[in-house]
Chain A
Amino acid sequence: MTTKIFKSSQEALRDVISDSTIMSGGFGLCGIPENSINTLSEMPIRNLTLISNNIGNSGRGLVKLLVKDMITKAYCSYVGGNPDLEKRIFAKEIDVELVPQGTFSERIRAAGLGIRAFYTPTGHGTLVAEGKEVKEFDRPCILETALHADFAIIKAQKADPYGNLWFKETARNFSPLMAMAAKVTIVEVEELVELGDIAPEDVHLPGIFVQRIYKGSNYENAIEFKKVKE
C-alpha cells in the first residue's frame, strides 16, 4: 500500500497554489482543521475560493486567511459571530455566496457522490432562488448544483493508515462530505492508529475518500460559548 501518511502539515499542503478552491470542515470552531489552516495562512498563496460553513468565527480559524486577504470568494451559510467576514462583505472586499445550510451540505455531498444537481424546496420564494430553475413537484422547488473543490482540509479524531476516519461527537459536521467532494483530501488527526484499530462498523468515512493524513499538534479545541448547569 502506498502510504498516505505525511510527516507534517507543510508537506501535506505543499502543492496548494493560488486560485485553488478549498473546502474546510468544522461548525463554528468545532472540528476545524487547525494545523492546516495555520500552515495555509503562512503560505505565499492568494485568490483562494473557500467553501466552509462559517469561514472562521470569533477571530479564529479561517479568519486567519481572511485578514491576510487570501480569500476572494467564499461559500458559506452563516456570518453571525464573524465580524471580520461581515465587514468585508459590506466593503465588497470578498464575493460571498450565502447558501442555506442544508443545501450547502447537500451540494457538497452531491459532488462527492456523482449527483450533478438536485431540486429542493429550500430557498424557494427568497433571494436564494434568484436566477435558478424552478420546477413544481408537490410544491415549487429550485435546482441546485453540486459544489466541488480542488482540496478539502478536514480534521478527524482518529485515522488508520488507509484513511478510515472516526470523528468525535459533533465534530463530524461537514467534514466527511467535503472529503468526498474534493480532488485531494488532507486529513489531520489527533490520533494515528493501526489498521484494524477502528472496527469496520465504526468507520465514519471509508479511507477511499482520503488522500493524505498527518498527525496534528497543539490543538486549541476552542469553546465559543461555555454553558454549564447552574
Chain B
Amino acid sequence: MTWTKHEMAQEVLNLIPENSSINLGIGQPTIVSEVLPENHTYMIHSENGVLGVGQRPCESEVSPTLINAGKETISTIKGASFFDSSLSFGMIRGGHIDFCILGGMQVDTDGSLANWMIPGKKVTGMGGAMDLVNGAKEVIIMMGHESKDGVSKLVKTCDLPLTGHSVVNKVVTNKGVFKIDNGKFEIIKLAPGIKKEELKLFELYK
C-alpha cells in the first residue's frame, strides 16, 4: 500500500518540530497546510510575501490580493505579516526559514535536486526553488516515488538540470521517508507493505 498525498503530508509534518518556520512549495507541498492541527505553532511562509499563512479562507474571506506562491487563495493567522519579494527572499537566503518543502522530478544520493525543466519537453522555471534549497536550514522533498512511466525519481545521479547541488536532507514519497546519508538513501520509514527489496534501484538504499 502506498500513502495518499494527505498521508504523505502528515509524514512531512512528523519531521518538523513545533514552533518552526516552514516554506511550502507549489504543488504537493501545499497539501501540508491542509493537515495542520488546530492551534499549531508553526509559521508558514510563502515566498510571494507573507509569513503566517492560515487555513483555506471562508467564502467571505476570499481576497484576490491574498494568495500563496501557488496563486491559491489563503487566509492569514494572528501575528502574520506582509512584505516585498526582496525581504521575503532575504528571509530565505538569510537562513531564517527552518524548513522548506518542495516538489521534485529527481533526487539523487548526493542530495541534489532537479525540479525545474526537462530539456526540449517542459520548462516550468525554477521560481524560488534555487533560493530555497540554498537558504532554508533543512530541505524536504515531497514527491511521488516514481514518475507516471514507473521510473524511479530517486536516482544515483540526476540527469535533469539541477535546482541545487547536494542540498536535500530528506525525501517523503508515497512509498516511504528517506534521509540522504553518505551517498545512500537511508530508510527512515516505509509505507505499510512496502519492502526495501521491491524498491527500484534498491541498491541505493540502506
- Residues of A within 8 Å of B74, CB to CB, are 227
Min distance, Cβ B13 to any Cβ of chain A, angstroms: 19
In this assembly, does A59 line the interface, its C-beta being within 8 Å of a C-beta of chain B? no
Number of interface residues of A (CB under 8 A): 58
Interface 0/1 of B51-69, CB less than 8 Å to A = 0000111110011111101
User: B82-90, B137-145, B185-193, B196-204: which one contacts chain A?
Assistant: B82-90
Contact present for A30 and B130 (CB under 8 Å): no
Q: How many A-B residue pairs have CB under 8 A?
A: 171
User: B3-11, B121-129, B148-156, B169-177: which one contacts chain A?
Assistant: B121-129
Contact present for A170 and B71 (CB under 8 Å): no
Please pick, from A77, A120, A176, the residue contacting B128 in the complex, using a CB distance under 8 A: A77
Contact present for B134 and A122 (CB under 8 Å): yes
Please pick, from A100, A172, A224, the residue contacting B82 in the complex, using a CB distance under 8 A: A172
In this assembly, does B28 line the interface, its C-beta being within 8 Å of a C-beta of chain A? no
Chain B residues 87 to 124 lying within 8 A of chain A, measured CB to CB, are 88-89, 92-93, 112, 116, 120, 122-124
Min distance, Cβ B1 to any Cβ of chain A, angstroms: 25
Closest to B63 in A: A169
Contact present for A170 and B50 (CB under 8 Å): yes
Please pick, from A101, A121, A168, the residue contacting B134 in the complex, using a CB distance under 8 A: A121
In this assembly, does B21 line the interface, its C-beta being within 8 Å of a C-beta of chain A? no
Interface 0/1 of A83-112, CB less than 8 Å to B = 000100110000000101111111011000
Please pick, from B62, B71, B130, the residue contacting A126 in the complex, using a CB distance under 8 A: B130
Contact present for A229 and B83 (CB under 8 Å): no
Min distance, Cβ B193 to any Cβ of chain A, angstroms: 30
Min distance, Cβ B116 to any Cβ of chain A, angstroms: 8
Please pick, from B26, B48, B92, the residue contacting A170 in the complex, using a CB distance under 8 A: B48
- Residues of B within 8 Å of A17, CB to CB, are none
State the A residues within 8 Å of B (CB).
27-31, 53, 57, 76-81, 86, 89-90, 98, 100-106, 108-109, 120-128, 157, 167-177, 204, 221-230
> Which 9 A/B pairs are nearest by Cβ-Cβ distance?
A102-B89, A102-B131, A125-B165, A80-B124, A100-B130, A224-B71, A105-B85, A101-B128, A221-B64
